[in-house]
Structure 1
Amino acid sequence: MAQERIPLSARLDDDERAVVEVVADFVDRQVRPVARDLEHANAYPEDLIEQMKRLGVFGLLAPEVYGGVDVSTACFSLVTAELARGWMSLAGAMGSHSVVTYLVKTFGTATQRDTYLPRLATGEIRAAMALTEPGGGSDLQAMRTTAVLDGDVWRISGSKTWITSARRAGVIALLCRTRPAEGKGFSVLLVDAGSGYEVSRDLPKLGYKGVESCELLFEDVRVPADAVLGGVAGRGFAQMMRGLEIGRVQVASRAVGVAQAALDDAVRYAQERHSFGQPIWQHQSVGNLLADSATKLRAARLLTLDAAASIDAGRRADMEAGMAKLFASEVCLEVATNALRVHGGHGYSTEFDVERYFRDAPLMIVGEGTNEIQRGVIAKQLIARNPAPGAGEDR
């Protein structure tokens, strides 16, 4: 299906357009032909990851001076969508890595940037982001993982869960409490592989196959005092919230890519499959599914690019990123379900890719902060940006 890979509203320069087109070609030629088999085998896509490294995918948000590509957030979004169109797990493999790269670029000390960014940019090392805990989920204020400064080391204790690529990560950006006695004081610690944490198990999943999601245990793990992001403890919550703006745009972009793949397959099948003497798209019930899917997908893509533009303009974008993630993920599930309906019984078969889209879509609804959390973020920012005169006064 001919698709609008680069909408006019994206405003990419020629180099960024070339980046998107190269990744789209990689997806068509290398990813889609093998994604189904890799998915069903739950096999780590080593060869595809290596090709992504050579294409510069892991350095999209790293400055050129460190060997990165340093594209706009809009270009990053479109590349993510293309990877997800091929196989969502590939977009997931670069998601947390890219957020950590952004955090080090934006908040890291000069030493941290020099130490990590050249290797992150090339994919020599991969990064993971550790926020979620077994008893906390999206409630970061309930976080129980702590780090206590003991001389020239931080001593870390706690556990994390749903950590993507944890077994293969060279560095983990760990959000924890560094003033635990007061119940506050969040910091991000850059924890290198081999520091002593344990990857306790890989979590079984409905979809999102091939790339591991793990539980991590920290039992008196020790890292240097200068491992705190930016060199000053206590700033981690604000830092991570900025990173999550990028993360939520990335998840919205994954949703757009999966929805695009589902719509592409549905449009093709609706022309090939005939019933009652005509292609099934001519039946109004099927045509309506296609029309609704295409319309909502276009809206999701544009909303995601709008959030990316807010980040590129240097503005606070938690509301815009939350809106994009909320809407795009809900649309993705709807489009994947519609594609399954269009395929009928074949949509339920593992011989078609539609069942994979149907299994992958729910991840975007719960990942990077559930959609229920997004609604809270949106409402809070909506009021903060539009205060009613006198509404905050005591009565």
Structure 2
Amino acid sequence: MPVDRLLPTSEAEDLLALATEMAREELKPRAAADEEAERFPRDLFTLMGKSGLLGLPYPEKWDGGGQPYEVYLQVLEEIAAAWMSVGVGLSVHTMSCYALAEYGTEEQRDRRLPAMLGGELLGAYALSEGHAGSDAAALSTRARRDGDNYVVNGTKAWITHAGVADFYTTLVRTSGDGSHGISCLLVDSSTPGLSAAPRERKMGLTGSPTAQMLFEDAQVPVDRLIGEEGSGLKIALSSLSSGRLGIAACAVGLAQAALDEAVQYAKGRSQFGRPIIEFQGMEFLLADMAATVESARATYLDAARRRDRGMDFQRQSSIAKLIATDGAMKVTTDAVQVLGGAGYTRDFPVERYLREAKVPQIFEGTNQIQRMVIARALKNA
């Protein structure tokens, strides 16, 4: 079902139309087979880059799209509705570029951002560790200064695009000064001493590789430091505030896809002499699903518009991530119920949608962490 959107410019309308066409023609036809085979569609990220969709919220000066965040997120939603792994990958890549775009020097941005935003390079975001997921300040991957290099040792966990990314925006410990001892490095995939562990065996998003990244005396040039030493946690938390909106948009796209599939099935499936969509129990279930999707969309758009206007949006970002991802879990579960036994089979995509809906409640900060962020903001208001 086409979504009736309110976009700020005709250029934004054209971008969304391009994304919708690409989602329909290039992504959706491949999604089920590639997920089943656990194939990563790197070619689609290159295509999105060449089409101008890989750097939408960043300045045109560095080959970005120069678009407001509310436009980028609606494009992202369309991509995720067609193929969640690609939507999440686009969100992760966008977040991986954030540190350089916002905190890098002019020389660093001039040298590296155009390739990152234009589709030549694919990014990954390396913050989490096995013992430091929600507690990011507890990370222990160590970077020791040695002349013109940092020597990095440690293991990063749950890294989207592990082993296929071209660069890793990596948070490391450069001193023992607690949360003030964390720094941000932009690490090339070709760095000696950097390797990916075997892929995790996941419930969903199987087309997107997730694995540990291993740093064993990895030599990272000092000029790959983003911002000042000790400013890494600030950079990481700022990145996550924007990244959570990306995950919210992906979750809404996934929920919209599940709703569309449920409505189509309910119109075509007849019982007791009439389509099941005409039964009140089914009408109410579908109405609640639609209300959940549209409410979540309104929530992420409100947060994005605050961001675009330079207003504080951290609390709203956490609310959007919480509402959208919890909503996607409910809507995909209900979509399986609408299809009944058919929904439990792989003959229909709602089975995959349900499996894919779980992890957005976990990454970019679990929804329990989002509740803590929201409550802290209320207490400090």
Report the TM-score, using the length of structure 1 for normalisation. 0.93
8 Å Cα contact 2:45/2:119 also seen in 1: no
8 Å Cα contact 2:92/2:160 also seen in 1: yes
| Cα shift readout 1:225-255 (whole Å, capped 9, x = no counterpart) | 221102x111111111111111000000000
Q: How many residues of Structure 1 are paired with residues of Structure 2 in the alignment? A: 380
Match of 1:227 among 224, 229, 241: 224
- Kindly state the Cα deviation for residue 146 of structure 1 after the two structures are TM-superposed: 1.5
Question: Which residue in the other structure is 1:292 paired with?
Answer: 288
Match of 2:59 among 54, 58, 63: 63
Question: Which residue in the other structure is 2:372 paired with?
Answer: 376
| Cα shift readout 1:141-191 (whole Å, capped 9, x = no counterpart) | 221112122232212111111111121222111011111366741111111
Q: 2:205, 2:306 → 1: CA distance?
A: 29
Three-state SS of the structure 2 residue aligned to 1:264 is: helix
- Kindly state the Cα deviation for residue 289 of structure 1 after the two structures are TM-superposed: 1.0
The one-letter code sitting in structure 1 at the alignment partner of 2:213 is L
- Kindly state the Cα deviation for residue 61 of structure 1 after the two structures are TM-superposed: 2.7
Question: Which residue in the other structure is 1:390 paired with?
Answer: none
Q: How do 1:1-395 and structure 2 match up within 5 A?
A: 1-4=1-4, 6=5, 8=6, 11-180=7-176, 184-196=180-192, 197-230=194-227, 232-384=228-380, 386=381
8 Å Cα contact 2:137/2:179 also seen in 1: no
8 Å Cα contact 1:256/1:332 also seen in 2: yes
Q: 1:263, 1:182 → 2: CA distance?
A: 46
8 Å Cα contact 2:137/2:178 also seen in 1: no
- Kindly state the Cα deviation for residue 78 of structure 1 after the two structures are TM-superposed: 0.4
The one-letter code sitting in structure 1 at the alignment partner of 2:349 is D
8 Å Cα contact 1:145/1:156 also seen in 2: yes
The one-letter code sitting in structure 1 at the alignment partner of 2:2 is A
Three-state SS of the structure 2 residue aligned to 1:201 is: coil
Identify the range of structure 1 (62-71 vs 270-279) with the bigger mean alpha-carbon deviation.
Answer: 62-71
- Give me the CA root mean square deviation: 1.4
Three-state SS of the structure 2 residue aligned to 1:167 is: coil
8 Å Cα contact 1:249/1:325 also seen in 2: yes
Q: 2:311, 2:378 → 1: CA distance?
A: 15
Q: Which runs of 5+ in 2 are unaligned?
A: none
Three-state SS of the structure 2 residue aligned to 1:166 is: coil
Cα distance change of structure 1 residues 181 and 46 upon mapping to structure 2, 3 Å threshold: closer
Three-state SS of the structure 1 residue aligned to 2:174 is: strand
Percent of residue pairs bearing the same amino acid type:
37
8 Å Cα contact 2:199/2:209 also seen in 1: yes
Q: 1:207, 1:77 → 2: CA distance?
A: 22
Report the TM-score, using the length of structure 2 for normalisation. 0.97
- Kindly state the Cα deviation for residue 272 of structure 1 after the two structures are TM-superposed: 0.3
